[in-house]
Structure 1
């Protein structure tokens, strides 16, 4: 079934003229600033690795590339420096630093974080192998015997080998094929071993390596880098959630049905107006009740904060979310955020297209509530297998009527060919058939990963650029 509700006729005037011109210019300026921040962060990331190698070479490393043994050792040192640099960059990407979040968003930061894992591990393994080869040539030992000798005779080397084992555990458990076999909580705890791996690698750098030797520039570079990472993690992963929780003092007010297998959880608290405009972005929630407090849940707001209350809409998708179905009024809640670029700050065009499926519809409702657009220049597409899975449909329909947006309800089983994000009887259509001003619009997509990928592929085939596409991931 397909339903279209038109609250106003589309303007024939292009969005670049008239009242929409000021909005378009504001969005262009915002987009340019965000791209500048993204480019600056990219340059800094590359420069950190280059600086690590340059300082090593300047502090005498360049003189070591003569003869087989010192050359092998030098290669091992360079590999270790770059590998360590990548690990520290990974930790910064995972630290939820607002500057990084505003530039590239949490999802993209974590995607880059994941991509760096294998190269970092390979470089750290190369560091170990080349050092064993280099020292082995000098001592007349094979690599295994050299490793045993270093373990026995050099202080803290056993911690260095333990660090490599921990890095291996983290990378292996991060592989999609592996992590799908375990619950999220298991993978999350294992992933915390990254911090243990970094800490266990530090002692041998002081006692064995020349990295922190007095009188070398690289000593201060690495000390500053480690302090920066530690400060970012403490500030944004530990202190920020604690401060936010005490500032807002959230409490569950009521839990109400919101459709097939879903509930609205309304929360009251203090100074919630500070969170206005966070619609679409997600917070990390912990419900401080027996059996719930150790689960953290990344949920987006389903309504913009108003009148001292917040709302999230939760569907029973697993053990963790199922436990929230029975959350009791009066339960205290801690939170961290908001995170991500799935909100107004990411917009680049005056037109707006919101496409959601199932529970992925709910963040779009919050975005629509506060979005600015000229009447007729916004389109909302709700997708569900049944009418009951068009969550918050009535609220969205009313917002579309008030703000002058066009609403489509696409109900039915997914197509198996063509544009598979559409119902079977509509698989021959494209996104452009629903949105007349698609080229001048930003597209927000939220729903299951495979379905969302189909929407994004359709959008790219229709000519939309990457900066116009915004996707909220539903996997981990």
Structure 2
């Protein structure tokens, strides 16, 4: 590999570049069409979310809600019902986003779907809390009682309302423990169990929704809509979170075949199974792996493929980042492995441009290595920059170098620590030599830029790419927590 301080125009690819071939132009146009189709699908998904919430409120107003706006107590009560319907709708949409539905994953990627899922959490909770408060105030005004007495009276209306209070408490617990500062104090396993309570919270709220106040009266379109929404959300979870992974796991029967140490604290785990090409994995994707040993069975790990599956083997590469991943380095051969996935759109299919530029650091090289192996690259199409603080972080660099050699790609390395007190992804040496993205990659603006590495570092690369004027559609980023 060339070093990062070499002038880019001395690279082999730069000397051999010529006009783009007809096939390359056609491929670039097809990528652009694919991007536009995904963008339209993503917009449609966002519109459907808003339509769903609007429809839930509109159906209520159309059937009975508008008649309640005749008195102060009725107005506040109606507002409470509307916030409850909107909040519940958002929660069901959150469950659908987390259900790992293939269409959602291929449209926006599972990471972005989960990011939206998290973003909806607080608004949904605030709406549910507002629902309880507004209903209590509205009923108390109508009944001529105080809020405390009205709250106590609710418990005399049956078990359905008691379940609604339990549901609210569970949702509050889930949201609070999801806050980063709070989550750090929980073991992953404990936090995961708490998070699963969101399913219980939604289900315990259903009885009061169907029975209290006749809001969803039997035989109305409103009732049909809500039952359909519940069935869709929980049906998607049952199919894609449970049934499909179980079937896939039993079909492929994967077990740990070999563990190879490639650097201090980093190992490659080779798994053996049956008909593994049928996983349909693309280079750059990840899966959720569960290793069924006594000390690891309760912890699922999202880990990228570090090599493309063959008919009988697949490989992942893991760095020790805590107790959970450190246990994986000591797995016994023969350990049974289950899989959910593959997931993600950090793949060659996401490209929109004729050239490919890759910048990776640390364990972030693993999806990059698989992506480069899987992509059908023309000679000189790709430029690769691998970043490490020192020589101990050259994970899989030799393998990536061989792929670069086979495709006549430009491959650079950048070793050395970052400068102190200066935000940058580059080494101090590279910065001192005025190295930039545009000087290193002469085809940057005709490229899709794939960035993969530690979150803070990747954000610095992203900032440089934006400063260089690279359009968002040409930037693909995968952040790894360290």
Band the TM-score falls in, shorter-chain normalisation: over 0.9
**Within 2, Cα distance between the matches of 1:266 and 1:413?**
32
Quote the residue 1:438 is aligned against: 444
Q: Say which of 357, 360, 365 aligns to 1:361.
A: 365
Structure 2: any 5+ residue segments left out of the alignment? none
Give the equivalent residue in structure 1 for 2:277: 273
Aligned equivalent of 2:133: 129
Distance (whole Å) between structure 1 residues aligned to residue 130 and residue 475 of structure 2 = 38
Report the secondary structure of 2:419's partner residue: coil
Is the CA contact 2:281–2:342 (under 8 Å) kept in the aligned structure 1? Answer: no
Are residues 1:371 and 2:375 paired? yes
Distance across 2 between alignment mates of 1:123 and 1:14: 58
User: Which residue number corresponds to residue 44 of structure 1?
Assistant: 48
- Secondary structure (helix, strand or coil) at the match of 2:45 reads helix
- Work out whether residues 11 and 377 of structure 1, in 8 Å CA contact, stay in contact via their aligned partners in 2: no
Give every structure 1 segment of 4 or more consecutive aligned residues whose post-TM-superposition deviation is greater than 6 Å: none
Deviates more, 1:267-276 or 1:84-93: 267-276
| Inter-partner Cα distance in structure 1 for 2:423 and 2:18 | 30
User: Taking structure 1 as reference, are residues 321 and 146 closer, same or farther at Cα in structure 2, changes over 3 Å only?
Assistant: same
Counterpart of 2:309? 305
Q: Secondary structure at the match of 1:298?
A: strand
Q: Distance in 2 between matches of 1:333 and 1:451?
A: 32
Distance 1:342 1:310 in 2: 18
Is 2:107 aligned against 1:108?
A: no
Aligned to 1:231: 235
- Alpha-carbon separation, structure 2, partners of 1:18 and 1:33: 23
Deviation at 1:307, TM superposition (A): 4.7
Q: CA RMSD in A?
A: 1.8
Give the whole-Å Cα distance in 1 for the aligned partners of 2:207 and 2:94: 21
Alpha-carbon shift at residue 141 of structure 1 (Å): 1.7
For residue 32 of structure 2, what is the aligned residue in structure 1? Answer: 28
Question: Which of 446, 452, 476 pairs up with 1:470?
Answer: 476
**In structure 2, C-alpha distance between the alignment counterparts of 1:269 and 1:301, rounded to whole Å:** 15
Indicate conservation of the 8 Å contact 1:343/1:367, yes or no.
yes
2:208 alignment partner in structure 1? 204
Does residue 72 (structure 1) correspond to residue 80 (structure 2)? The answer is no
**Partners of 1:65 and 1:71 within 8 A in 2:** yes
Residue 322 (1) aligns with residue 362 (2): no
Alignment of 1:388-403 (within 5 A): 388-403=392-407
> What's the offset of the Cα at 1:210?
2.3
- Cα deviation, 1:243-278, whole Å, max 9, x if unaligned, reads 110111111111111123111111111111223552
* Partners of 1:452 and 1:471 within 8 A in 2: yes
| Conservation of the 8 A alpha-carbon contact between 2:160 and 2:208 | yes
